[in-house]
Structure 1
Amino acid sequence: MNLNQLRYFECVGRLENYTQAARELHVSQPSLTNAIHKLEDELDLTLFAKQGRHIVLTRTGSQLLQVVQKSLQILDDGVATIQADTATRPVTIRVGCIPTVIGTYLPKVLHQFEQAHTKQISFELHSVPTEKIQTGLAAKQYDLGIAATDSREAGVLYQPLLKQAFIVVVSPDHPLAGREQLELSDLAGYDVLTYTPELLIGQKVRRTLKRQGVIDRLTVKADYPDEISIAGMVQSSLAVGLVADTLYLEAFNLVKIPVNVPEDLRVIYAMYRADNPQHDTLRQLFQLFKSAAD
């Protein structure tokens, strides 16, 4: 049994999927499968069972996964702490950030922090969707996440950064373009373009429409991955877009109209795991985020 086998087992056990684990670990699926089978032979334990076309952890596998995860965490944290104490190069904070924030709000704050910690701190930015940020934090691919979320995970610290309002966008010659504010019911009779329910923001839109009692009265086309694709369709048609107010919309010839709903569509948070080896640095960064928000 070696360290690679334990890391492979942790990834397969956490995902319960060989294909996804192979992709995350950057190894071939046959190599990963062979490593797991060899581990089972060496330990004389059955760690996984087939359930239809899928695999699931056995009870023994679940028990071993907890032991392995704790052990790897102690090892990784210990190595990271030693490296941080002895490193002569700046500490690099890996940041996973949603695209609508990575080119606007975030760089200003991070640059200010870097200037206050000259030659000590640097940031590595990754533009990724919310879902990948959350899994990336759990897998320790990112030290800091910047994303919208409606829920809180145990062991993760959160700091609200900014809010993006719920708005309607229409073309300048649209019948609704002159309105100062809209009710969701005003959108009846038009194609309403919004985010796919595969995204968290798409799920938020759907929940809001249900709570407001209008989902069955509107013609909703929830097929779009972002504001750019929605805005592109809206500016040359009579469709309306139901979106978050982001800078992506500034590139289009559209009219933005506030919509009367009792909540913002998206609240953006900074988040990091409390057990991150760079906890002290991230805590200081959170103070700067808080000051900027105030």
Structure 2
Amino acid sequence: MELLQLKYFKDAAELENFSKAAKKNMVPQPSISYAIKKLEDELGVLLFDRNGRKIFLNENGEYVYQKVSSILNTVDECTAYFANTNVEDIKLYIQDGDFFISHLSADFMSAYPNAHFVYATVEEVLHSDNPPYDFTFMLPICDMKDFNYELLLKDEFVLLVSKDNPLSKYNEIELSMIKDEPFVGLYDTIPVRVVTDTICKAAGFTPNYVFKTHEDFATTYKVSQNAGISIMPYKYYMIHPDSNIKVIKLKNAEFNYLYLSWPKDKILSPIEKTFADYCKKWFSNLK
């Protein structure tokens, strides 16, 4: 008695037709007939009554069907259990780019269902002698000699204004022209905001923020409602663009950089190598 026989029997019983069972299993109909005949021979009883092309479980068949269903359910549970034990963890520490990483990680898990992400905390990093992560997403630092790294993103800073704002008539603008404008943006604890403020200070002014938030959506919504202007990396903005926002290039624009890095002495596992390659491809496809 083989599992395949039992599966063919169960499908035929539920579909009440050998041809439909064959189609479901993508095998010729004689394969179904032969498997069930062999099962009946092994048990020494008939399992179906027949009426033309339709088949019906008899009393013997009903009994066997209950037992077979239980057996196959147990097999499925075992398969699922051991599939779950093959889940491969990838531990990430996100210093920057979390807006992108939420989309990236969801896409990667869809493509590789056995992958599972674990996120390192600041406390873990501060209190660990060795990096408690496989990869970190980070801004560039002066000394990268302790890391292997890949540049994932070079993202130009642009000005966002409402299409109702008088500035929307420009396609490119000097930073000095917006020094007196009201700004909306992220809190100054968020890396991209720190870079934005640095760009403005280099141009000779400190932005006047009339609205601050932790949410990118709230920033672009406020801009679209003409509550203020905002400076933001272009690809960062284009994850969720707004039809009422005009994107204006900045003269002598700065760029936001995002790196994927991992410890210098780390040998990447197959799933980690796959993830690193996937990251490069995912970011290269951003428009």
Counterpart position of 1:122: 115
Structure 1 residue 219 and structure 2 residue 204: aligned? no
Aligned residues: 197
SS at match of 1:198: coil
Q: Distance in 1 between matches of 2:124 and 2:161?
A: 31
Return 5+ residue gaps in structure 2 as ranges. Answer: 1-84
Counterpart position of 1:95: 92
Q: Distance in 2 between matches of 1:188 and 1:242?
A: 12
Structure 1 residue 272 and structure 2 residue 262: aligned? yes
Asked if the contact 2:135/2:260 (under 8 Å) is kept, the reply is: yes
Counterpart position of 1:192: 183
| 1:191 positional shift | 0.5
- Relative to structure 1, is the Cα distance of residues 196 and 258 closer, same or farther in structure 2, using a 3 angstrom cutoff? same
Q: Distance in 2 between matches of 1:243 and 1:249?
A: 12
- Kindly provide the amino acid, as one letter, of the partner of residue 136 in structure 2: G
- Relative to structure 1, is the Cα distance of residues 135 and 92 closer, same or farther in structure 2, using a 3 angstrom cutoff? same
Q: Distance in 1 between matches of 2:127 and 2:160?
A: 33
Deviations 1:198-224 (A, max 9, x none): 22222212222222x3315x5345843
- Relative to structure 1, is the Cα distance of residues 290 and 171 closer, same or farther in structure 2, using a 3 angstrom cutoff? closer
TM-score where L is the length of structure 1: 0.53
Equivalent positions of 1:33-52 (< 5 A) are none
Equivalent positions of 1:172-183 (< 5 A) are 172-183=163-174
Q: Distance in 2 between matches of 1:149 and 1:134?
A: 18
Counterpart position of 2:30: none
Q: Distance in 1 between matches of 2:267 and 2:134?
A: 9
- Relative to structure 1, is the Cα distance of residues 104 and 123 closer, same or farther in structure 2, using a 3 angstrom cutoff? same
Asked if the contact 2:89/2:118 (under 8 Å) is kept, the reply is: no
SS at match of 1:177: helix
Q: Distance in 1 between matches of 2:98 and 2:106?
A: 12
Residue from 244, 249, 267 that aligns with 2:233? 244
- Kindly provide the amino acid, as one letter, of the partner of residue 100 in structure 2: V
Counterpart position of 1:206: 197
| 1:137 positional shift | 9.1
Return 5+ residue gaps in structure 1 as ranges. Answer: 1-87, 116-120
Asked if the contact 1:96/1:145 (under 8 Å) is kept, the reply is: yes
- Relative to structure 1, is the Cα distance of residues 215 and 134 closer, same or farther in structure 2, using a 3 angstrom cutoff? farther
Asked if the contact 1:143/1:272 (under 8 Å) is kept, the reply is: yes
| 1:283 positional shift | 4.8
Counterpart position of 2:21: none
- Relative to structure 1, is the Cα distance of residues 291 and 195 closer, same or farther in structure 2, using a 3 angstrom cutoff? closer
| 1:262 positional shift | 3.6
Equivalent positions of 1:61-76 (< 5 A) are none
| 1:106 positional shift | 5.2
- Relative to structure 1, is the Cα distance of residues 177 and 133 closer, same or farther in structure 2, using a 3 angstrom cutoff? farther
Counterpart position of 1:15: none
| 1:278 positional shift | 4.1
Percent identity, aligned pairs only, is: 13
- Relative to structure 1, is the Cα distance of residues 194 and 177 closer, same or farther in structure 2, using a 3 angstrom cutoff? same
- Kindly provide the amino acid, as one letter, of the partner of residue 183 in structure 1: E
Q: Distance in 2 between matches of 1:183 and 1:127?
A: 40
- Kindly provide the amino acid, as one letter, of the partner of residue 199 in structure 1: I
Q: Distance in 2 between matches of 1:103 and 1:169?
A: 23
Q: Distance in 1 between matches of 2:257 and 2:147?
A: 17
Q: Distance in 1 between matches of 2:232 and 2:128?
A: 27
